[in-house]
Structure 1
């Protein structure tokens, strides 16, 4: 009888440990996306702020590091959804699959922005800086560089902007229903998502600047949600009673 009880307890413990590992992996990747994206934005500032970067004095190494961090953020973005999928699909498989898909779309948009900035660096190194372009050649390069930066600006709005709100709606709903984390955490995401969408739509139609005070305020709840859910999953994992219920 004792042997049977011990074996049953051990069998029940194994899934709990696997669930905790999924949660910790997702939490760590959430924090990676959060921590990589902020310095990346600072590192790529020269190419964003200087319209003549492609023909002027550049900080290519700095920009390349920023692009690399954005790539890390994009890959971690996908990893967060893949890590939690085996757990949250038991709550609603359609929503869980939607979350994985939306994360992949966000990562793809981010990569497009990275490629556009890498193209600016290549143009500067191959044509702008080495040949000392002047006159019409310089004007053409500047126009091309500005077009590529404009592509990156749109990817920043559509990726970390719109898709982050979609991610929060999907994942927040899954966590709220399953109670895998305290409910106040997904509530932050569910409240912040409409604010971020409203700000993004205002920017999309030209009624708001992407770096305005309103945009910053609208981003805060989503930033708090991602930081909170990532930290909780990394430190605490999923709540054992809720994870056990999901398995049942």
Structure 2
């Protein structure tokens, strides 16, 4: 069988890339704006409900990103596909916990949940970026940028949780810029089409009895 037959059809990967790019941008806006509205709103107000709803919508977008990228990653590494999907579920879960906490007036829980989510996203996405580098699904400079950015995400968030104020915000800068650039790259250029690796048949696995 031709190895190219194992790759995802071009139209499918193009659609996935554009959708993931759009979701990354949507998530950036939904959480950023939603969190700003919710944390600045009065208790039991319509604005608080709006802000929390936007934050929860972000969690849906985050999970969708993980689900959509499974068929792109799986042909190259089923393990990385599962890790990345679990990473996005982890992120979405803690961000949702933080959003719901704001409804009961617990900004401290939201702060902690956010940093746990970002630490998990940063650590789990290292495997994703390493896979992008190996497969050349995107240019390697972009994969390296993502690896460094997500590492900074993780270190900054963990340091913030350890009590160093502002570390999370500083650590989020390279990762946040990467996600914005990566989103536009996927929308405009998409993934480089790469055939899935084929399994080599060893002499000991020959058809002879």
Residues of 2 paired with 1:60 and 1:163: CA distance? 31
From the superposition, tell whether residues 31 and 163 of structure 1 become closer, same or farther in structure 2 (CA, over 3 Å).
Answer: same
1:20/1:237 contact within 8 Å kept: yes
Residues of 2 paired with 1:167 and 1:65: CA distance? 30
**Alignment of structure 1 residues 149-228 onto 2, 5 Å:** 149-159=107-117, 161-206=118-163, 208-209=164-165, 212=166, 214-228=167-181
Instruction: Please state if 1:68 is matched with 2:53.
Output: yes
Residues of 2 paired with 1:13 and 1:157: CA distance? 37
Quote how far apart the aligned CAs of 1:14 are: 8.4
State the TM-score, normalizing by the size of structure 1.
0.71
Residues of 2 paired with 1:194 and 1:13: CA distance? 30
Residues of 1 paired with 2:184 and 2:177: CA distance? 10
Instruction: Please state if 1:79 is matched with 2:64.
Output: yes
Match of 1:30 among 24, 29, 35: 24
Residues of 1 paired with 2:169 and 2:8: CA distance? 43
Residues of 2 paired with 1:16 and 1:70: CA distance? 33
Quote how far apart the aligned CAs of 1:70 are: 0.6
1:168/1:222 contact within 8 Å kept: no
Match of residue 196 from structure 2: 246
Quote how far apart the aligned CAs of 1:195 are: 2.1
Which SS does the other structure have where 1:74 is aligned? helix
2:37/2:51 contact within 8 Å kept: yes
1:46/1:59 contact within 8 Å kept: no
Q: What do the CA deviations read for 1:189-246 (whole angstroms, capped 9, x no partner)?
A: 111222222222222222x11xx2x433321110011112211112222123x3xx23
Q: Report how many residues are paired.
A: 194
Instruction: Please state if 1:229 is matched with 2:182.
Output: yes
Residues of 2 paired with 1:167 and 1:224: CA distance? 18
| CA RMSD between the two structures | 2.2
User: Which sections of structure 2, spanning at least 5 residues, go unmatched?
Assistant: 199-209
Q: Rg larger in 1 or in 2? A: 1
